[in-house]
Structure 1
Amino acid sequence: MNMILSVLNITAPVFLLAAVGFIWVKLGFEYRVEFVTRLTMTLSVPCLIFVALMKTEIEPEALAALTLASLVAYIIVMASSFALVKLAKLDVRTFLAPLVFGNTGNLGLPLALFAFGEDGFGYAVVVFAVMAIMSFTIGVWIVSGGGSLKRVVQEPLVGATLLGALFLWQGWETPMVLTNTLELIGQMAIPIMLITLGVAVARLETKAMTQAMWLSVVKVIICVAASWVAANWFGLDSVPTAVLIVQIATPVAVTSYLLAEKYGADAQPVAGLVVASTLLSVVYLPLILAFVI
């Protein structure tokens, strides 16, 4: 019961902030998704990623093993999700990236901190870094329909992730005044993204939610299986294994919706996936934690 309540304490703000966006649209107020997307993806989220990586402390050997395990797990998830999308005759641009990359940031990180303490949080940031690099390189390439890899590399999110990884590896830190500024900018990312999610939910169709539910269930099964295989392959200890499974099994991230909006993919089904998978996470995340702890 305590585990369920703790997960609810983490996920409840997601729905409350999304409700703000939902009500905002229903009241007829203006909400410029294009501007909000540009603000968050160009400025706020990159700052959030960089500071999170820079502040993480983890042993080099554990870092290497978990990084490789995370990479392999995501490759397995991507291959399995691609097969699923093709079998279901769905659009690859719209569905593949959201099914692969979860909400390892604003849900996975706090959940890892609660369940496994500071050490678990450090491991979770490593998985988050791998996800971010893959999501904003390969993921963006998929959502944008291919095209020039140069455009993908120029994404601020990619630069922030690589720079944060470099600072983590070298043990560097920015001056306190700069760190506080970047952290403050990054803190506005999560509420803005969640409010934007509520705006999308206000425009959802029933069909999108029905489809999103069964896809979300299959996503959880694929992610748990893939992360378990990868963790055993690299012989991870119990805590990093548990963190890897929880992180990769997190629901679809709000950034998936923002990327769909930014690159002209069908954003409505993605918003449905975000909502459906987050709702399901209230049930399946406590079950996963009960099993791995």
Structure 2
Amino acid sequence: AILSVLPIYFFILIGFTAKKIFTDEIDERTLVLISLYFFQPILIFWGLTKSPIDYEFMATPIIYLIIVLFVLIILLLINKMIFKERKDQSIYLAVALVGNTGNLGIPLGIALFGIESVPYTSIINIANIFFIYIFSVYFFARENFSLKDALLSIIKIPGIWFAFLALLVNYNGIEIGKNIYSALEMGAYTSMVIQLLIFGMYLSKVKIKNMSWYAPLHISFVKHIFLPFIGLFFILNFTDLNAMVASILIMELMVPLAVNNVNLAALYNCKPYEVTASILVSSTLFVFLLYFYIQIIEYFIK
């Protein structure tokens, strides 16, 4: 099972190496814009039209958000005891719960569960995007940015609109032609590769010798231990999802921190390099924890 996810890290390594070799000749922001405004909407539309809408399809993102928001309430109560500086508190609240549900979650779901996982990983990614552009944006910029403006920013994200369109097409049973579907599938897989390349490019900028380990380790503890534990407890005791869907949901709670955290931290001047360091630590820990995560997931499949 671990070998099946190696292609994911292969493309991350390509992005990392390309940025190291060509430095200023490659602008990762260009790839970010192409991915965000062109290929991610295709990926979302493709993913949300692959399977008919049912109870578990709609319940999965709701359960995901309930778990994440519950943990956020706990972090709001304890963040001032862990960090003294307000910016560090903001980073902790904004970053720790935002997983790489798009960059890694969708391809990892395909590697572990097959193509049948795409509708569920896609709609969980939409839930994650809502969390990012409401709560994370607010925490990153709460000194000079209103929650109302954060809500309005969602309108500018094309993936949201394509998600609604895909759900409308799916709900009404509108069939998609074979040739159109093939084009959507090509765009979806292209999106996955581009996102993994972007992830590697951002990691190439981190200078390990200048890293501060305090915040990244606290954030990684929340992301890789506390959040999955709360999620596992909640799913086992308060849901009736089938084994595969429950396993997909747990996997999405376990994935490392999202690259989009760096974009927002840089946009609002909230220690972007410390956020990047947190992503590096989280991603590295994920490699070592992946075997144990897979054992937990396989337990649910059985």
TM-score above 0.5, yes or no: yes
Deviation track 1:2-40 (CA, whole Å, cap 9, x = no partner) reads x33333343332233222223322xxx344455444443
- Tell whether 2:151 aligns with 1:156: no
8 Å Cα contact 2:90-2:140 kept in structure 1: yes
Per the alignment, residue 10 of structure 2 pairs with 12
Matching residue of 2:252: 247
Deviation at 1:290, TM superposition (A): 0.6
Q: CA offsets per residue over residues 74-132 of structure 1, 9 Å max, x none?
A: 21232234445433225354343331121122322232233333444443333223223
Pair 1:95–1:163, CA change in 2 (3 A): farther
Look up the SS of the partner of 1:204 in the other structure: coil
Evaluate the alpha carbon distance shift between residue 63 and residue 261 of structure 1 in structure 2; reply closer, same or farther with a 3 A threshold: same
Q: CA deviation at 1:223?
A: 1.8
Q: Is the 8 A contact 2:39 2:190 kept in 1?
A: yes
Cα deviations by residue, 1:221-278 (Å, 9 ceiling, x for unpaired): 1221221133131222322222111111100122222333344443212221222211
Q: How many percent of aligned residue pairs carry the same amino acid?
A: 22
Q: Kindly provide the amino acid, as one letter, of the partner of residue 261 in structure 2.
A: S
Q: Cα gap change, 1:283/1:19 in structure 2, threshold over 3 Å: closer, same or farther?
A: same
CA RMSD of aligned residues (A): 3.0
Count of aligned pairs: 287
Matched-pair contact (CA < 8 Å) for 1:94–1:267: no
1:223 aligns with 2:227: yes
Aligned equivalent of 1:291 = 296
TM-score (norm. length: structure 1): 0.81
Does the C-alpha gap of structure 1 residues 103 and 52 become closer, same or farther in structure 2, counting only changes over 3 Å? same
Partner of 1:100, secondary structure, is: coil
Q: Is residue 2:203 matched to residue 1:210?
A: no
Whether the 8 Å contact between 2:8 and 2:104 is mirrored in structure 1 is yes
Q: For residues 132-176 of structure 1, what are the alpha-carbon distances to aligned partners after superposition, in whole Å with 9 as ceiling and x for unaligned?
A: 333334334444443323233333233233333333444445555
Give the counterpart of 1:71 among 55, 65, 77. Answer: 65
Q: Find the partner of 1:98 among 95, 99, 107.
A: 95
Question: Structure 2: how far apart are the matches of 1:179 and 1:72?
Answer: 33
3-state SS of paired residue (1:91): helix
**Gap runs ≥5 in structure 2:** none
Distance 1:160 1:287, change over 3 A: same
TM-score (ref. length: structure 2): 0.79
| 1:139 is the counterpart of 2:144 | no
1:52 aligns to what?
Answer: 47
Structure-2 change in CA distance of 1:208 and 1:64 (3 Å): same
Distance 1:151 1:59, change over 3 A: closer
Structure 1 residues 239 and 37, CA, compared in 2 at 3 Å: closer, same or farther?
A: closer
Residue 105 and residue 200 in structure 1: after superposition, are their counterparts in 2 closer, same or farther (change >3 A)?
closer
1:290, 1:33 → 2: CA distance? 35
* Candidates 277, 282, 297, aligned match of 1:277: 282
